[in-house]
A and B are shown apart, each in its own frame.
Chain A
Amino acid sequence: MANIARSIRLKKNYILAVFAILLFLSFVFVNIGSGLLFGRKKADFTGDARYTLSEASRQIVSEINTPVYIRLYLSSAVSREYPALYQYSQTVLRRLETYRNQNPEMIQIEVKDPEPYGKIAEEAKAQGLKSFLSTDGQFELYFGAVFGNDNGDSRIIEQFSPGRAGYLENDISRTIAGLNNPLRTKIGILNGNLPISEKTYGQNKGNEWAFLKLLQNEYDVVPISSRMVEIPYDVETLLLISPANIPPLFAYALDQYLLRGGRVILFADPYSEIEAEIYGTASVNSGNINKTLKNWGASVDFNKVIGDPDISENIVATTDKGQRLQNRPTWLNLNKQHINQDLVFSKNIASVRLKSPGSIELQTKEHIKSTPLFSTTQNGNSIDTETLKLFGDQNFADEHRQYIIAALIEGTADSSYLHNPLDGTGFEEEMLPFLPTSIKEGKLLIIADSDILADSLWINEQISGDGGVYEQIPYTQNGELILRAVDYMTGAGNIAGLGSKQLSPELNSISREIYQRRLKPYLPEYESVKKLLEEKEKFVKTWNEVIQNNEAKLNMSVVKKLEQTRRDIEKIKEKQKQIEYRVRKETTAEIDAVIWINMAGIPALILFAVWIFCFIRTKRRSRKVREVINEYKIS
């Protein structure tokens, strides 16, 4: 009997084992099948639609005509050395996979680990990727990508930066679009008095404005001189930056360029605050550009600067009475309501900063379509440009009307000239023939502000430093708008639709958020101490340089003053440290509170609630049972 039972048990176990194996095989095959069938189809469960490609990106990916190979160089040590960066690297990988899934036949991805001093690290360096040091400063690490295709074209993203998370799709799509169209379009820049590039002032480094780097990354940017009598025909778009006084021949060249279907972006500023900041004064605009604009149904008022209390900025200013919040009505922070969202290049642009802009008057003209781009609220006011320069921005005319600050003008127009001004000189024979009217639709984008281009209005210079495009950390969308406007003007409509998902100037860590919140009450004091320290240090540095270069003789009063300043610096530094210590202490206390509340407080409360619930339930049941027993006894 025992043997039979044993044999039955063995048989049962055997059948069970076979069944378990069959179930395991079903698990394997079901998953292989589902992986192959549904692996590429994913729903995006993120609030900012992180893994959903925009229409513009999808179009760019669909236009790929030769296979694109993406080599991502990611040092494995990043996960150990920089956990936050590693976290971001996973987002980048997933994002690249999204592109691949969109067009798997044309996009291939390869991940490479450049080990320190290895062949792959050398390869990454040779490709032009930027390295960064490990925390101990011993090794070079990489986190960038090289995009190449079968035609031998390649483009690189030197380094992925978490601060540009909102621009990740923009960066990747532009890189792929660059491979689709390897020939760079030529754009020209005529710069007035702003030192936007090193070429302008012959300096060696660090003098290129961020917007220019953005344009150079996508286009072949050539300088245009105001002495030219003809704008080169291969210049697809011309950027005219704060042209204070246009020579008559160049005005003619501009007129003819527009009539030949040229595209111009004009930054016409009544008062360039950045220029005033750099040179101590801003040049006066003669307004002769209006002669060219007249036939296009537009004119810029260079005598008035626009302000708007509803969209103006508040700044912390140091006055005699200490730190005060001061309103700057001419410093405007435009949001979606004041930026035309119907234009391809301004769609989803939600933040643009301007300083003392002018206004544009638009007239209705046949064959011309004028579309306002930026406008103030109905509370807009104006102030005389000279009054603003001399007395500040508080004396506004009580107008309360809406002003147009930027406008896009498209269509055909007549020439402002009756003939070529050089007629009869013999030079006219070397020039293109005079056009009395448009032969092709021209495009003119007028922005009545040039400060929009300044780095300080849109990127975090402290984080971005002198780095390349992929290190720029924007906090407003000035640069993005300019680049997209150029894309639109040059005819790259699909790229012009590419925008940022969100502006994330810095990595949001909770400790940083707590620190910032705790710092807020101390901020005015902290900022004034910091400013004072900078001033004192600058003073000492300047005097040290003067003394070292033997530019001035050292006397007792100078020595005393220097000594006093050094002592002041020590005191200020101590005060700064005190504030930092206080903030750090409060931050640590809040962090500890968060830990204790979550680890002990809430679980204890929940456990207590569950126990109370069970206790009451048991008591109620016991009572019911007792009642039943009592009823039974009575009956």
Chain B
Amino acid sequence: MPIAFKTVFNKEFAGFFRSGNAYIVLGIYALLSFAATFYAGGYFSLDNTSLTSFFLYQPEILIVLLPAITMRSWTDERRQGTLEYLLTQPISYVSAVLAKFGAAWLFGLLMLSVSLPFWLLTSFLTPLDNLNILSSYLVCILIIGTFSALGCTVSAFNSNTVIAYIISIFVLWCLCNLNLDFLITPAENISDDVFVRVIRSLNFNKHYQDFVSGQIGLDNVIYFFSVMIPALWLNVIALEFKKK
């Protein structure tokens, strides 16, 4: 790992904890996730062999919380005037972007790990389909990566943290909820027509549900990376173009 990348990554990751932001986000994530699981997800009444109740609201919770982590990644640098200093160091734009994105992704994983004891505890209450749960965690990891990439990119375009946070939420909400399903009737939803398949291939929820139900295809994995990679690329271009 290049030293420059490691330095920025460490600085960024430690920064979350120095500001105290991390503790608040971790606490709120646990509270929201488990409140959704127990009170809205029907944890006690549904068949939870795949922890369906827990994964039911994860995208919504991550939409709200991940921008709180990524909103500062570039806006703070710009606000404090350290962006130019950073970019004049012997570090490429790509490394800087990847380091900040990596730090956000790792923090997201740490956030998700709060739920691991819950997995263990539930296994004492009911028999679990661990392979299916693993696939659900895998999609959460990919979602965190995707949201982190988009959040960092939005942050690169803004100098105000609050605005970056709000725009990030809006962009993530659009990604998750804007789809072309209105072009097909519910009856056609599982049709095999090429048109229907095209429409469904752009549906975030469909890809998420494929993972959660334990049916993973290459198209599902490609979907998340097809957001992540262009977003990071745009982040790099944005830095190059936005520098004074």
Other than the known A38-B217, A83-B46, A84-B45, what 12 A-B pairs have Cβ atoms closer than 8 Å?
A: A26-B230, A30-B222, A36-B194, A38-B222, A39-B200, A50-B214, A84-B46, A97-B190, A513-B126, A598-B38, A598-B118, A599-B34
In the complex, A610 has a CB within 8 A of chain B:
yes
Query: Do the beta carbons of B216 and A111 come within 8 Å of each other?
Result: no
In the complex, A589 has a CB within 8 A of chain B:
no
Binds A, one of B25-33, B73-81, B158-166: B25-33
Query: Do the beta carbons of B202 and A31 come within 8 Å of each other?
Result: yes
Query: Do the beta carbons of A513 and B125 come within 8 Å of each other?
Result: yes
Q: How far is the CB of B221 from chain A (nearest CB, A)?
A: 9
In the complex, B82 has a CB within 8 A of chain A:
no
Q: A270 — which chain B residues lie within 8 A by C-beta? A: none
Q: How far is the CB of B188 from chain A (nearest CB, A)?
A: 8
Greatest chain B CB density within 10 A among A87, A507, A603 is at: A603
In the complex, A422 has a CB within 8 A of chain B:
no
Greatest chain B CB density within 10 A among A47, A88, A610 is at: A47
Return the 3 tightest CB-CB contacts between A and B, nearest first: A35-B201, A603-B30, A23-B230
Query: Do the beta carbons of A610 and B23 come within 8 Å of each other?
Result: yes
Q: Which residues of B contact A (CB under 8 A)?
A: 17, 22-23, 26-27, 30-31, 34-35, 37-38, 42-50, 52, 110, 113-114, 117-118, 121-122, 125-127, 129-132, 134-135, 186-187, 189-192, 194, 197-198, 200-202, 209-211, 213-219, 222-223, 226-227, 230-231, 233-234, 237-238, 241-242
The 8 Å CB contact of B219, one of A12, A37, A104, is A37
Query: Do the beta carbons of B190 and A36 come within 8 Å of each other?
Result: no
In the complex the two chains form, what is the Cα distance from A610 to B189 in whole Å? 45
Q: Which residues of A contact B (CB under 8 A)?
A: 12-13, 15-16, 19-20, 23-24, 26-28, 30-32, 34-48, 50-51, 76, 83-84, 87-88, 90-91, 93-94, 96-97, 100, 104, 108-113, 162, 507-511, 513-514, 591, 594-595, 597-599, 602-603, 606-607, 610-611, 614
Query: Do the beta carbons of A27 and B197 come within 8 Å of each other?
Result: no
Q: A591 — which chain B residues lie within 8 A by C-beta? A: 44
Q: How far is the CB of B180 from chain A (nearest CB, A)?
A: 10
Looking at chain A's contact residues, the main secondary structure is: helix
Q: B48 — which chain A residues lie within 8 A by C-beta? A: 508-510
Query: Do the beta carbons of B35 and A599 come within 8 Å of each other?
Result: yes
Q: A513-B125, A598-B34 are in contact. Are A19 and B237 (CB under 8 A)?
A: yes
Q: How far is the CB of B34 from chain A (nearest CB, A)?
A: 4
In the complex the two chains form, what is the Cα distance from A24 to B45 in whole Å? 41
Query: Do the beta carbons of B122 and A510 come within 8 Å of each other?
Result: yes
In the complex the two chains form, what is the Cα distance from A509 to B238 in whole Å? 50
In the complex the two chains form, what is the Cα distance from A12 to B38 in whole Å? 49
The 8 Å CB contact of B241, one of A12, A48, A94, is A12
In the complex the two chains form, what is the Cα distance from A513 to B45 in whole Å? 10
Query: Do the beta carbons of A109 and B219 come within 8 Å of each other?
Result: no
Q: A27-B230, A31-B226, A514-B125 are in contact. Are A39 and B201 (CB under 8 A)?
A: yes
In the complex the two chains form, what is the Cα distance from A97 to B227 in whole Å? 27
In the complex the two chains form, what is the Cα distance from A591 to B121 in whole Å? 12
Q: B114 — which chain A residues lie within 8 A by C-beta? A: 602-603, 606
Q: Can you offer 20 A-B residue contacts whose CB atoms are under 8 A?
A: A23-B234, A30-B226, A31-B226, A36-B194, A36-B201, A38-B218, A39-B200, A39-B217, A42-B210, A42-B215, A45-B216, A47-B130, A50-B214, A510-B126, A591-B44, A597-B121, A598-B121, A602-B114, A603-B26, A610-B23
Q: A19 — which chain B residues lie within 8 A by C-beta? A: 234, 237
Query: Do the beta carbons of B201 and A31 come within 8 Å of each other?
Result: yes
Q: B230 — which chain A residues lie within 8 A by C-beta? A: 23-24, 26-27
Looking at chain B's contact residues, the main secondary structure is: helix
Query: Do the beta carbons of A20 and B223 come within 8 Å of each other?
Result: no
Query: Do the beta carbons of B23 and A607 come within 8 Å of each other?
Result: yes
In the complex the two chains form, what is the Cα distance from A32 to B194 in whole Å? 10
Q: A35-B198, A45-B134, A614-B17 are in contact. Are A511 and B45 (CB under 8 A)?
A: yes
Query: Do the beta carbons of A607 and B131 come within 8 Å of each other?
Result: no
The 8 Å CB contact of B117, one of A94, A602, A607, is A602
Q: How far is the CB of A559 from chain B (nearest CB, A)?
A: 47
Q: B34 — which chain A residues lie within 8 A by C-beta? A: 595, 598-599, 603
Query: Do the beta carbons of B187 and A47 come within 8 Å of each other?
Result: no
Q: How far is the CB of A95 from chain B (nearest CB, A)?
A: 10
In the complex the two chains form, what is the Cα distance from A624 to B89 in whole Å? 25
Q: A19-B234, A594-B121, A599-B31 are in contact. Are A45 and B131 (CB under 8 A)?
A: yes
Q: How far is the CB of B111 from chain A (nearest CB, A)?
A: 10
Query: Do the beta carbons of A20 and B129 come within 8 Å of each other?
Result: no
Q: How far is the CB of B19 from chain A (nearest CB, A)?
A: 12
Query: Do the beta carbons of B131 and A34 come within 8 Å of each other?
Result: no
The 8 Å CB contact of B30, one of A30, A36, A513, A599, is A599
Q: B125 — which chain A residues lie within 8 A by C-beta? A: 510, 513-514, 594
Query: Do the beta carbons of B194 and A111 come within 8 Å of each other?
Result: no
Give the nearest-CB partner of A11 in chain B: B241
The 8 Å CB contact of A16, one of B129, B197, B217, B241, is B241
Q: A26 — which chain B residues lie within 8 A by C-beta? A: 226, 230
Query: Do the beta carbons of B226 and A27 come within 8 Å of each other?
Result: yes
Q: A42 — which chain B residues lie within 8 A by C-beta? A: 210, 215-217
Query: Do the beta carbons of A45 and B194 come within 8 Å of each other?
Result: no
Q: A606 — which chain B residues lie within 8 A by C-beta? A: 26, 30, 113-114, 117
